[in-house]
Structure 1
Amino acid sequence: MPAAMPKTVCIIGAGPSGLVAAKSLLHGAHTDTFDVTIFDAQSRIGGLWPSAISDGAGLVHPRMVANQSKHTVQFSDLAWENAAPELPRAWQIGRYLERYHEKYCQGAKLCLGRRVEKAEPVQVPADQGSCPGWRVQTRSQDDEVEEHAFDYLLVASGFFGKPAIPELLPSQAAVPVIHSSQYRSLAELLGRDGKGGKILVVGGQMSGVEIASTITSHLSSATHSPGPSPIPSPEKYSLHHIIQRPVWVLPLFTSPKPTLSAPPFLPLDLPSYNLANRPHPLVDTQGHISVDAAKTVHSIFQSISGSDQSIFSPRVAIKSDDIDKPPFLAVSDNYLEFVRSGLICVSHGKLESLAGNSATIAPSREQIGDIAAVVLATGFEASSSISFLPASIRETLSVSPSDFNNTVALAFHGTYHPSVPNIGFVGFYRSPYWGVMEMQARFVAALWEAGGPFSSSLTPSMKAALSGDTSIERTIKLRSDSRASQFPMGDYPWLMQEFAKALDQKLSSPLSKMPLLPPADKEMDILTPVRYPPKTLREDQLAEITNSLKQTEATAWAGLSSTKFVARAVFRSLLGEWKLERDLVSLLPTHPSGHFSGTAKFLLREGTRDGREGQFDQLGDGDERGLEYLYIEEGDFKASNGLTFRATRRYVWRYNEEKDKLSVWFVKMDDQKKADYLFHEIEFILPDQDGEDDGKGWQATSGHLCIDDFYDVGYRFRFQAVNLRDWRLTYTVKGPKKDYGIDGIYRR
């Protein structure tokens, strides 16, 4: 008998979901089963993720840092380059997707710059015995309309259909009003008038916290960097953040041993996906959150954070009457310290009205005036991402634009609907996880390869999975559940387990022995997409998988058995103002002893080239200078001879991510915002792993010869979970004309 013709598949969207769907269809059990075409309205692949720093037209800023690590933001059989940062930027993720497309999706026809406008099922007479297909209409950027016919339709157009804008007429405002996804720079937001005022950010979940922190860091940088500012008088602006309720805000690196004064640090997601801390088989922890479950998760977040956040401001504190409610989480390195320092002012409530340059907050009726611009971090409306489907099918899928999570009622964890079996979905839910995307793609490919959800060719495991599935009912029920979790499909390990059961896949073992971690005191068992590799592997795929596993395991070992990532944690936690008390003891009568009392401020700004010119000239897109601080201390020095005078000094503190090094630089005498030359690099000392915590925190040393004088420097950084509690700087200076010691204590 002649071989069956391949089934044609239309994939809508060339982002991560569309690409992994194409790969799964092209490289399934039988590689000639499907003929795949991918359409995307954009002129590039990647979806949200741009592949160039200059690409600012999408919904994601190309320099945005991912809030999960490269170990999670990847697919199973393509490793990141070994030199890639732990937390890649958006443009680097776009480059990863280009590599993925090049390696695995060349068999698909790629149609970029062509938007799918209509997709209608083809009605086939029942006596023909074949499945109905799809008639798909597309429009090019040149307005050329084409029609195509396909057997299957796979929706990978994503949750981020269009920005969700509250029912407030922006025309009533006399100031710029934009969605958070549109923000790119202060100059674009504020223009050049320099009048100052409040930048109002509306929305208190993930995107609200992230954009509030981003804009504040840009204001800080504009104020404290050398050279001309991108906007006039940046110091005249402040940020006001409207939130409905406090959320837990965790930094990008946390500690799995938060009770130590010298805790180790790892990317946030690695301890989060440690399967050793969960009983097996896994049960779903998301969806409806009971009071007991809420209290448990709140206590976990408080342990990770080291406080209830009241140390930053009562406005962001998680109070005792909050712990019965489902916990909400955001991720930001700098948000809480900006709140503590007063650079971000927080109000509780909802934006009720916006007129002129004033806003009213409900229910308090608080008035916020002198507004310079409004940024709406109000999420996205996903229903427009499937607007090409007929109304009857959208009704069948029970699209709910009014639901905060914009859910579509789909079977088996968001992959298909039994009433429309020749349409599939991948990544169509809020905050999709790359490993789950890949498992969804494999599931849809296997389902269609078997002939659909009602086929007798389904494997026993697929039949069992489908017969026990309640995903549609669960989705609809959660829409009216006041105790629904922040991310109803957020238990990614459980979801991957359920897909693995249906697909008869096994979780692979770690390559080697892993570190022991509390509270279970078992070896870490970190779930990443690589732990569920494809069933059949070529030699090159196996090499990619092995490399990925090695990267993840090396990161875990480095974070838990060395000083790796400590410099980063210290750098992050220095932000803001400190109370400084310092003693100076001189052994030479020509230099008086005395005591300094004052403040030390770490003022965040974009990394500068000063003092290190030439280091970045040939790096192209890799020209990532990161962030740095302008350090300013001011206070009174009272000498032992009774003389008191005002004293100040400045440095520049830098963190080099590639080297994982913290360094201190002298400033130029004629421009004290500019770094001059290196003072010293800080070398952290690994504490005794066998002894009990001595309470001294992380210790570090350095040395520096300044002409004829040698500076012997010592540090001690004491943490309370992820944040510095206090820190100490001591150094002795010896030279032909100097012989003194300094001992300074920094406290919040």
Structure 2
Amino acid sequence: MFPQARQVGQYLAAYSQRYIPRDMLRLGHRVVKTERLTGSDVNCKWKVSWVKGSRQNTTQETTPQTKIESEDFDFLVVASGYFARPYLPVLPGLEHFTGQAIHSSTLEKGRAGLSTIAETTPQGNTVVIGGSMSGVEAASALALRESSLRLSTYLGSGSPQKNNKVYHVHSRPFWTLPTYLPCETSEETVPFLPLDLAMYDLSRRPPGPVEYTLGPLSEEKIAKTNDYFRSLLGAEYERYGHPHQQSPLAKADPQPEWVAIGNDYAEFVRSGGIKTVMGRATSIHPQSDTRIASMKIETAEGSQILEDVTSIVMATGFTPFDSLSFLPDDVLSSLEYNTSDPFLPLILDKGGTLRSEIPDLGFVGFYRGPYWGVMEMQAKFLGKEWAAEDNTPGEGDAKNKSERELLRILRQPSVDVRRAQFPMGDYVGLMETFSKDLQIERTLSSGDDSRTGPVIPARYAHGQEDVEARRTLDSLRAISCQDHSTAAQAAASLAVFRALHGTWRYTQTSATGERVGSGTVAFIPRYPSNEIHDREYVLETRQDEVSAGFQVSSVGRAVFCLSEAGTRESNPGIQVYDVTTDRDREESRLAYRLHLTPFYREEGVGEYVINAERVHANAAEEPTARGIRYTFHFQGVSITEWECVQVGDRTSENNTNSESQSELLWQNIYKR
């Protein structure tokens, strides 16, 4: 549902094999120059020159001995994107720091780099700089690394680890969105849907034509967006998933808040695994051991010093300029090329697709915003434009000029000109505008209401005979349906699993309501111990007992695992293992699975409930007369309280043939 980078690569390789003749691709070639040919006797408009070379030496300079090849073409598409070169800010003192200092794009985020980092880097704190997508991702990955390192000491696999901190330094408030969001579809049910299906639903647009919006944001629009996230995510989640929303800096400069995606970030902040600092890193001061330094941060309240820093991760984005270096200077001038603004280096028409004065040059994916659907539309639009006999500027020229002027205004962000994180981020409006220009009729999502359902590329396929589009739409309907489908199970399982992270206090009561015990449970994340699982917690239970007037504590351990796509033995969901641990190894045995039901509305605004039944791994081990059930109470995307109860069957004393009825045996109630 949310593929990793390697899975996207596999998809693109399969797409290429299916649709693109091999002789059309020339990989491992670096374009060094392009020339736009002009004149009445010129048939081809572009001469493209390149050198052969591996992917590793794409920035290598050409020499007189370098063999340059060239060929002429009718049209040129620039599809090299924004992420040409990692951006590394200049920080005084960084040149003397010999600890780890890397860009987030090179960060090893999995278990593979765990031992290497632990052996080569002295124990100390890590600072992640940057508050956008990669900042949240990097901080979460490093917090998981630290959590896994601390848990590994329980098995005697290394020396006791210092409680190293992960600081996340960001310059503005931002919202962190989990990958699944609650989506109200009726009065009774509230399913969890992938965030793009929930956010890019046509029903969220106001009545009337869906128009593409571009330009500065008003204070009213910013406030409306914040209110939407606040109502969607809930007040409990906002405390940790919306860092520094009350900062004086945010109040003094009401710029649009940014958005990042991360399932684990907010709960790591809650548990202390990530320490957020709103401000700007201004200098680094290495110690006598230059692998360790302090870092100075300027905040709205003054200077702050982060001590014992041994690793710095620059989650500071990319610059797009290398992606344009092969274009002629006169063409770049016509495109209003500006190297001082990496957000808007060019001023383009038609949703970032071309410039009408240079109709034989097109762009696909050269913008910042949601990509897949828009890139398909941009490619289709260029195909239509270039297939036409007359592709000179026409009726849309006035609209193009208006769009250009709005882009020029956005190049000057200030208190008065508030620029969104993604200047072309109106995904729904952009898709709808392209569909009108291309005369593609959007496929209905369900029923006959044309203004409902999410905007996805499959709804804008050419014709109804597209087998792949139909397959995708069928899959979409399965995701959205309110039943026990595999997709619904996967969504509910991830939503519950994510929200359990952290420590809970519980009380246990008997069938008569008498309090018989209390304690805490802590869900501590670590790298999955088996590749069939995507996420894993070590569950530590400490039960307080009264014995001879003294308070003592007993400890139990289990492992909760999540398989998002399922395994050969079971559908997607949560599996629980009993664990025995000694100094040398950990042994686990699958104890049971959780079978979850879709959400339903509870009394009270914004409150939802999901139930789960414990299904034993071995049916023979499951008692026939009693079972354990879980109930998770949600506000937005956070679990505010959950219950675990054991019930048994009892039969009416007056009629032994009557149906069995459920009887509560004991109940645990868990709260933060």
TM-score of the aligned structures, taking structure 1 as reference length: 0.75
Q: 2:582 aligns with which of 656, 665, 670?
A: 670
In 1, the alpha carbon distance for the partners of 2:590 and 2:43 equals: 74
Q: Does 2:536 align with 1:646?
A: no
| Aligned residues of 2:84 and 2:319 also touching (Cα < 8 A) | yes
Offset at residue 534 of structure 1 (A): 2.5
1:216 to 138, 143, 154: 143
Change (3 A) 1:369 1:732: same
Corresponding position of 2:201: 274
Aligned-residue offset at 1:629: 0.5
Match of 2:433? 498
Question: Does the 8 Å CA contact 2:78/2:363 hold for their aligned counterparts?
Answer: yes
1:563-592 Cα offsets, whole Å, 9 max, x none, are: 5522221101001111222346799xxxxx
Instruction: Report the Cα offset of residue 102 of structure 1.
Output: 2.0
- Displacement after TM superposition at 1:661 (Å): 1.9
Match for 1:660: what amino acid? Answer: P
CA distance in 2, matches of 1:647, 1:675: 20
Contact map agreement 2:284 2:296 (CA 8 A) in 1: yes
Sort the Cα spacing of 1:377 and 1:273 in 2 relative to 1 into closer, same or farther, 3 A: same
1:464 pairs with one of 379, 389, 395? 395
Deviation larger for 144-153 or 197-206: 144-153
1:571 equivalent in alignment to 2:509: no
Who is 1:97 aligned against? 12
Which amino acid in structure 2 is aligned with residue 496 of structure 1?
M
**Which of 327, 334, 349 is 1:411 aligned to?**
349
The match for 1:20 is none
Q: Distance in 2 between matches of 1:156 and 1:106?
A: 18
- Aligned match of 1:138: 51
- CA deviations on 1:370-427 (whole Å, 9 max, x unpaired) are 0011000101000111111233322322233332514311111111123333211100
Instruction: Return the letter of the residue paired with 1:388.
Output: F
Q: For 1:633, which of 541, 549, 561 is the aligned residue?
A: 541
Amino acid corresponding to residue 471 of structure 1 in structure 2? E
**Cα distance, 1:730 vs. partner?**
2.1
Partner of 1:513: 447
Amino acid at match of 2:24: K
Counterpart of 2:107 (choices 183, 195, 201) is 183
Over 3 Å counting, the alpha-carbon distance change for 1:387 and 1:504 in structure 2 is same
Distance 1:225 1:466 in 2: 64
1:158 aligns with 2:81: yes
The letter for the 1-side match of 2:473 is L
Cα distance in 2 between the residues matched to 1:179 and 1:564:
33
How far, CA to CA, are the matches of 2:31 and 2:235 in structure 1? Answer: 49
Q: Equivalent residue for 1:305? A: 233
Q: What corresponds to 2:98 in structure 1? A: 174
Aligned mates of 1:118, 1:481 — CA distance in 2: 33
Q: CA RMSD in A?
A: 3.5
Check whether the contact 1:137–1:148 (CA below 8 A) recurs between aligned residues: no
Q: Distance in 1 between matches of 2:177 and 2:46?
A: 47
For 2:577, give the aligned amino acid: W
Aligned to 1:26: none
Inter-CA distance 105–669: structure 2 relative to 1 (3 Å threshold):
closer
Task: Give the 3 Å change call, closer, same or farther, for CA 285–380 of structure 1 in structure 2.
Answer: same
Secondary structure of the corresponding residue to residue 147 of structure 1: strand
Partner of 1:375: 313
Structure 1 residue aligned with 2:279: 349
Q: Which amino acid aligns with 1:509?
A: L
One-letter amino acid of the structure 2 residue matched with residue 158 of structure 1: G
2:173–2:243 contact (8 Å) kept in structure 1:
yes
Aligned length: 620
Deviations 1:482-511 (A, max 9, x none): 31111110111111122222222221223x
Question: How far apart are residue 259 of structure 1 and its match?
Answer: 12
Whether the aligned pair in 1 keeps the contact of 2:210 and 2:432 (CA below 8 Å) is yes
Kindly indicate whether the alpha-carbon contact (under 8 Å) linking 1:225 and 1:605 is maintained by their aligned counterparts in 2: no
1:198 to 116, 122, 125: 125
**Distance in 2 of aligned mates of 1:259 and 1:672:** 53
Aligned: 1:744 with 2:671: no
Question: How far did residue 711 of structure 1 move?
Answer: 6.2
State the AA in 1 paired with 2:270: R
Say if 1:313 and 1:722 are closer, same or farther in 2 by CA, change over 3 A.
closer
Please list the CA deviations of residues 464-484 of structure 1 after superposition, one character each: whole Å capped at 9, or x if unmatched: 344422332222210113311
Which deviates further from its counterpart, 331-340 or 572-581?
572-581
Indicate if the aligned counterparts of 2:562 and 2:575 stay in contact, CA closer than 8 A.
yes
Q: Distance in 2 between matches of 1:323 and 1:530?
A: 40
The C-alpha deviation readout for 1:513-546, integer Å capped at 9, x for no partner, is: 39x9xxxxx98422110111125x7x6xx21111
Query: In structure 1, what is the Cα distance between the partners aligned to 2:666 and 2:603?
Result: 29
Q: 1:246, 1:315 within 8 Å by CA — same for their partners in 2?
A: yes
State the partner residue of 1:252: 179
Q: In 2, Cα distance between the equivalents of 1:299 and 1:393?
A: 43
Q: Does the 8 A contact of 2:34 with 2:327 survive in 1?
A: yes
Structure-2 change in CA distance of 1:723 and 1:673 (3 Å): farther
Matched to 1:603, the amino acid is: I
Which residue is equivalent to 2:72?
149
Mean CA deviation greater in 701-710 or 102-111:
701-710
CA distance in 1, matches of 2:642, 2:188: 11
Task: Give CA deviations for 1:130-188 in whole Å, capped at 9, x if unaligned.
Answer: 56332423332396432222222110011101011112264232312111001115548
Match of 1:109 in 2: 24
Deviates more, 1:319-328 or 1:405-414: 319-328
DSSP 3-state at the match of 2:468: helix
Alignment of 1:330-729 (within 5 A): 330-356=260-286, 357-363=293-299, 364-451=302-389, 453-454=391-392, 463-469=394-400, 470-482=402-414, 483-510=418-445, 512-513=446-447, 524-534=452-462, 542-558=466-482, 565-583=491-509, 595-609=516-530, 623-638=531-546, 642=549, 644-657=551-564, 658=566, 659-670=571-582, 674=586, 676-685=588-597, 697-702=609-614, 704=616, 712-729=627-644
Structure 1 distance, partners of 2:325, 2:606, is 61
Quick one: distance in 2 between partners of 1:302 and 1:496?
Answer: 26
Cα distance, 1:696–1:581 mapped onto 2, change above 3 Å: farther
How many Å apart are 1:225 and its aligned residue?
4.8
TM superposition shift of 1:325: 3.8
Structure 1, 524-533 or 317-326: larger mean CA deviation: 317-326
CA distance in 1, matches of 2:637, 2:584: 31
Query: Is residue 180–residue 376 contact of structure 1 (8 Å, CA) maintained in 2?
Result: yes
The letter of the residue matching 2:526 is R
Secondary structure (helix, strand or coil) at the match of 1:395 reads helix
Q: The residue matched to 1:361 in structure 2 has which SS? A: strand
C-alpha distance in structure 2 between counterparts of 1:495 and 1:129, whole Å: 35
Question: Aligned residue for 2:224?
Answer: 296
CA distance in 2, matches of 1:260, 1:235: 50
State the distance in 2 between where 1:305 and 1:296 align. Answer: 14
Q: CA deviation at 1:597?
A: 3.3
Structure 1, 214-223 or 239-248: larger mean CA deviation: 214-223
Q: What's the offset of the Cα at 1:624?
A: 4.4
Q: Which amino acid aligns with 2:102?
A: I
Deviation of 1:286 (Å)? 4.8
Change (3 A) 1:645 1:673: farther
Query: Aligned pair in 2 of structure 1 residues 389, 250: CA closer, same or farther (>3 Å)?
Result: same
